[in-house]
Amino acid sequence: MKRFYYVFLLLVVSMFLFTSCALQEIEIKADPTLQVPIAKESITMYDLVDTEDIVISLSESFGEDATVTHKSDNPLTYGVDLKIFDGQEILDEIAPGQSDFSSVPAGPYDLVTSDASLTLVSLGGTTFGPLEEISLTSLPATLVVTGISDPSYVTIEATLSTSSTSTLISSGEEFNLGPLFNEYSKIYLEEMTITFNSSLSPDDSPTIKLLVDIPFEFTITEDLELYTNKDEVGDEDIFGRSGEDSDDLSDILDGIESFKLHMDYDNTTGLHLKMEVQGWDVEKNQPTESEPVTREITVGEGKTVEFDLTGFIEDMKNTVPFNLVFTVKLPPSEYSLNMDGSLDLSLWLDLDTDLAIPITSRAQ
């Protein structure tokens, strides 16, 4: 947006040079429409969504026994490999003192009971950067047993629960972890039973894992702010005004009848966005009195949207220093994050002016 400031400043300064001269005899009236290209920008999904925050949040939630891997960009998907019990931990629980599983009789054994449940996932306070606590559509998960020659030799049954609901799961059968995950609290391993359907060899050492796919397909029910430039506005006026020249430049602003910002764009992010433009009082670090202007940025290519900022003109004149704050929001809907997409913008300014420029010829 800096080029916007520079172009507009150049326009205002050039107008100021005409009007500040002591020339009074001839007055030329002009009613031009100025269309000024401002900038071209390409905003990737990685600019809007911090995937590093997502990985950190998942790693902290599933704990140190989990490995988080990136699996797909469309939709953005992460995989979690969570070790629950390794072979030695299972032996210590069901057959203390045994060196391997060959001497463990076939049959069921309790690994976890309801009076000593374990915290499996801790989601309290978990947020995915600007996405916050989104409601994920589905989290396919499977309880698996590795480290044995034949998976049919061992069967696991378990109960996962939160403070309000529970789910019975079995090894090798996919289930949806989403309803438990979306509570954003703790997920407990309430009970777990391991059943040996056949004798194991000395080389077998079963490890119990929970494998989870986390595709970022989700629903939100209120506006979600993805980006704002509030912290980047700085201390300067958008027109470069200072206290001593603000009155002169405000007189020039009187000649502006309309002030519009146009944006041509290609939106391949898969996200239906909203952009809000707000006048900003830099000194008070707060919005000006004019209402913000919001427009929709729909999905597709070759699109155009117009922001009519004419209502900002009085605030521009009366507030020094004055600036603009841009905010990108995600409105309520269902979404699927396509990290291969981008938002390509071309911004241009449309000014309608009614100027009276005094000019004097030199005395002979």
- CB burial of residue 192 (10 Å; 0-12, 13-18, 19+): buried
Domain that residue 94 falls in: 76-215
Convert the pLDDT of each residue in 300-322 to its tens digit. Answer: 999 999 999 999 988 988 888 88
CA atoms of 278 and 289, how far apart (whole Å): 9
pLDDT of residue 171: 97
Looking at the fold, whether 201 and 233 belong to one and the same domain comes out as no
Q: Of 183, 199, 215, which residue constitutes the final position of a domain?
A: 215
Let me know if residue 61 belongs to a domain.
Answer: no
Q: Which of 15-24, 169-178, 210-219, 222-231 has the lowest mean pLDDT?
A: 15-24
Whether this prediction's pTM lies above 0.85 is answered by no
Q: Are 202 and 87 within one domain?
A: yes
pLDDT digit string (tens) for 238-290?
A: 777 776 655 656 666 677 778 888 889 999 888 889 999 999 999 999 999 99
Residues 125 and 168 in one domain: yes
Residue 52, domain member (yes or no): no
CB atoms within 10 A of CB 169: 19
At which of 157, 187, 215 does a domain end? 215
Peptide bond into 321 cis (omega under 30): yes
Considering 189, 215, 241, which residue would you say is the last residue of a domain? 215
Q: In terms of domains, do 186 and 231 share one?
A: no
Co-location of 87 and 198 in the same domain: yes
Same domain, 331 and 284: yes
Do 226 and 275 contact (CB within 8 A), yes or no? no
Flag whether 58 is in a domain: no
Residues 243, 203 share a domain: no
pLDDT in tens, 148-170: 999 899 999 999 999 899 999 99
Contact between 54 and 62 under an 8 Å Cβ cutoff? The reply is no
The reply to whether 231 and 301 lie within a common domain is yes
59: in domain? no
The pLDDT tens digits of the residues spanning 176-199 come to: 999 999 998 999 999 999 999 999
Tell me, letter by letter, the H, E, C secondary structure of the chain: CHHHHHHHHHHHHHHHHHHHCCCCCEEEEECCEEEEEEEEEEEEHHHHCCHHHHHHHHHHHHCCCEEEEEEEECCEEEEEEEEEECHHHHHHHHCCCCCCCCCCCCEEEEEECHHHCEEEEECCCCCCHHHCCCEECCCEEEEEEECCCCHHHEEEEEEEECCCCEEEEECCCCEECHHHHCCCCEEEEEEEEEEECCCCCCCCCCEEEEEEEEECEEEECCCEEEEECHHHCCCCCCCCCCCCCHHHHHHHHCCEEEEEEEEEEEECCCCCEEEEEEEEECCCCEECCCCCEEEEECCEEEEEEEEECHHHHHHHHHCCCEEEEEEEEECCEEEECCCCCEEEEEEEEEEEECEEEEECCCCC
Q: Does the residue 67 lie in any domain?
A: no
Q: What is the average pLDDT across 120-148?
A: 86
Considering the domain architecture, whether residues 208 and 262 belong to the same structural domain is answered as: no
Residues 210 and 227 in one domain: no
Q: Is residue 39 part of a domain?
A: yes
Do 256 and 350 touch, CB atoms closer than 8 A?
A: no
In a domain, 260, yes or no: yes
Q: 209 and 229 share a domain?
A: no
- One domain, residues 199 and 106: yes
Number of domains in the chain: 2
Q: Is residue 62 part of a domain?
A: no
